[in-house]
Amino acid sequence: MLDTTEKPKTAAKPAVRDVRNFIAGEYVTARSGHTFDKCSPVDGALIARVSEAGEAEVDAAVKAARDALEGPWARLAPAERGEMLYTVANEINKRFDDFLEAEVADTGKPVSLARHLDIPRGAANFKVFADTVKNVSTEFFEMATPDGTGAINYAVRRPVGVVGVICPWNLPLLLMTWKVAPALACGNTVVVKPSEESPQTATLLGEVMNAAGVPKGVYNVVHGFGPGSAGEFLTRHPHVNAITFTGETRTGAAIMKSAADGARPVSLEMGGKNPAIVFADCDFEAAIDGTMRSCFANCGQVCLGTERVYVERPIFDAFVSALKERAEKLRLGRPEDSSTTMGPLISQEQRNKVLSYYRKAVEEGATVVAGGGVPEMPGDLSGGAWVEPTIWTGLPDTAAVTTEEIFGPCTHIAPFDEEDEVVRRANALDYGLAASVWTTNLARAHRVSARIEAGIVWVNSWFLRDLRTPFGGMKQSGIGREGGVHSLEFYTELKNVCIKL
Ligand code: NAD
Ligand code: 6OD
């Protein structure tokens, strides 16, 4: 898994960065002078001091966003805003290496992953939503009136106003722009609160907004934590008109309570405990490849990832041993090494959480098929948030490890015998974000995917995304759908104009 014959290397330490808030087109240090440290997940070294926004900075950011709603931004036609968002996407691509470096520094993920997923999607999000708003139409009705003159009705979409955007750390640029791009495309202004664990790419995007000519105050960033900090100040702020959030289910519930004051709408993309169902008639190699990715990509820190695999009994043993073999070949290492296929977790805190589940699995009677512990890492890597990719079998569907979201590189594999049985087991939890079904039987693929309670069901694939499609979670995995025209439901107010002729 880790090539320990390799000489321990110590990378040259880059300077510690100052990361500041971005308000009304300017980089701003918090008046209080408070900062918090951002450490590398790879080796624990301090990489940035982040200026923590207090109520004054959050207030200033919201005011800047409000003022910008009255400025040139509000007067642009959707097509003109779309042009500007294309420029934003092109500027991200021009600064591709800067975004890549910042994202990898914050998260420790392999460069190869961020190069193919995080940064390209950061740019693509702006193009997709620019196209969406350019091409959308609204309804029109003619009606009769008692005096015989008639009337016409047409619907227009208007921005909701200032949108608060609260983001997680696992795919920082991708998930932040997934919200910012539709918000801006619809004519809103935003105040973004990135995760305290991944402050850099949202900050860098401020430079891009300025370079693209986006008016000052349209895009703002405040740094800090959740309760008692920038996250709570932003979501409680009375001049924030709508809140869009990605993160844990219990945080989403807290944000919903804040949003209740002022009856503000929320869009919540939250946690999951996603099943994969592998039928004996599947393309075995494809199912192994896909399940490897869905369990271990981004060190298991993908909300759509698989933490429960159900395999039809005739292929159960073969599947477990093939997945074990592949998991043990994952190479943990420095993000920039081209041979690295798995990075560390985001932080020591997340590592403690994941390792608590590794212990719990054993206490609950699991068979540890692969991993289950902490890898020996050479040199300065020993200070990083590393855990072994882990596979368990033998637990009941009621165990903590098979019911609670862990958000690490680990999965439990269980056998099943009947289609009805596996659908029932897959649907048994309160989460409903994503699922994968592996089968070559077309009728079964339709039947099972229709019955699975999840916002997205992949058949013979995983994390294949067409950004025009609805995305979101069922049950406690989310409220609302974003993606393509579905995003307009949240980021615009639909108004009817009735004209008597
Ligand atoms: P988190 O909920 O701990 O934090 C997310 C953000 O919310 C952070 O910016 C945090 O500072 C902020 N926050 C925390 N408490 C707050 C409060 N009371 N008020 C306002 N803001 C607050 O989530 P995380 O640990 O950053 O991310 C991992 C979680 O996100 C997992 O549960 C994962 O499933 C989920 N996630 C879901 C999706 C999805 O699309 N459904 C995508 C990515 C991640
Ligand atoms: O692909 C997306 O648009 C999206 N929201 C992915 C979420 C991944 C969760 O970690």
User: Which class for 248: exposed (0-12), middle (13-18), buried (19 or more C-beta within 10 A)?
Assistant: middle
* pLDDT tens digits along 147-158: 999 999 999 999
In terms of phi and psi (left: phi > 0; alpha: psi -120 to 50; beta: otherwise), the region of 62 is alpha
Question: Would you state the pLDDT for residue 12?
Answer: 62
Q: How far, rounded to the nearest angstrom, does the alpha carbon of residue 100 sit from its chain's CA centroid?
A: 17
Instruction: Select which of 186, 295, 299, 303 is catalytic.
Output: 303
**Paired tokens of 499:** 């004209």
* pLDDT tens digits along 183-199: 999 999 999 999 999 99
- The reply to whether ligand 1 has any atom less than 6 angstroms from the CB of 272 is yes
Read off the amino acid at residue 479: I
* pLDDT tens digits along 290-339: 999 999 999 999 999 999 999 999 999 999 999 999 999 999 999 999 99
What is the atom index within ligand 2 of the atom nearest the CA of 302?
10
Considering the entire predicted model, what is its pTM? 0.96
% of residues, the chain, pLDDT over 70: 97
Question: Would you state the pLDDT for residue 13?
Answer: 66
CB 98 within 8 A of CB 204: yes
* pLDDT tens digits along 450-483: 999 999 999 999 999 999 999 999 999 999 999 9
Would residue 418 show up in a list of annotated catalytic residues for this protein? no
- Measured in Å, residue 300 CA sits from the centre of ligand 1 at 15
- φ, ψ dihedrals at 312, nearest 5°: -65, 135
C-alpha–C-alpha distance, residues 88 and 314, integer Å = 52
Confidence band, pLDDT 50/70/90 cuts, at residue 5: very low
* pLDDT tens digits along 104-143: 999 999 999 999 999 999 999 999 999 999 999 999 999 9
CB 342 within 8 A of CB 330: yes
C-alpha–C-alpha distance, residues 178 and 175, integer Å = 5
- The reply to whether ligand 1 has any atom less than 6 angstroms from the CB of 480 is no
Smallest Cα–Cα separation from 223: which of 202, 244, 205? 202
Question: Would you state the pLDDT for residue 74?
Answer: 84
Question: Would you state the pLDDT for residue 7?
Answer: 42
- Measured in Å, residue 251 CA sits from the centre of ligand 1 at 6
Would residue 303 show up in a list of annotated catalytic residues for this protein? yes
* pLDDT tens digits along 273-298: 999 999 999 999 999 999 999 999 99
* Residue 219 host element (H or E): strand 219-221
